[in-house]
Amino acid sequence: MAGKKIPIGSDHAGFELKEILKSELEALGFEPDDVGAHSPESVDYPDFAKAVAAQVANGNADRGILMCGTGLGMSYTANRFPGIRAALVWTPEIAELSRRHNDSNILILPARFIEPQQGINILQRWIDAPFDGGRHQRRVTKIESDS
């Protein structure tokens, strides 16, 4: 996945962590597409969740990253898009399992509840983990189906 664009967004509560993770993405060889927020001034999280989720849903990016205070608002918004599997993650282990078992395509972090280094560790684990497929593919397929 190196060299690929990854849209990244946050509200005001996630702004500082977003800036840290943008640098980490660049160090890993990715091209972060910062959709905002562009300061710690109060903003509305759905604007940024929609901007990232739309890029992933329409195929302009394979994966995206979002953060807000709890991660809940970003998760509610992003998961409304078809084909989005946005995972609210707070440990590296959950990040890996969200990829391996659920093929998560948007990482969501609760910025007020994790330290910056923990956010970096989560990001790295999520980026590195492949989707296991197999029995997990059957389950992921059922998410979008009517049966």
Residues 7-26 have pLDDT tens digits of 999 999 999 999 999 999 99
Say how far apart CA 94 and CA 90 lie, in whole Å: 7
Which residue among 12, 38, 68, 136 is the active-site one? Answer: 68
Q: Is there a catalytic annotation at residue 38?
A: no
Residues 47-98 have pLDDT tens digits of 999 999 999 999 999 999 999 999 999 999 999 999 999 999 999 999 999 9
Say how far apart CA 118 and CA 122 lie, in whole Å: 6
Which residue among 12, 38, 101, 136 is the active-site one? Answer: 101
Say how far apart CA 50 and CA 5 lie, in whole Å: 17
CATH class (in words) of the domain with range 5-144: alpha beta
Ramachandran quadrant class, 29 (left: phi over 0; alpha: psi -120 to 50; beta: rest): left
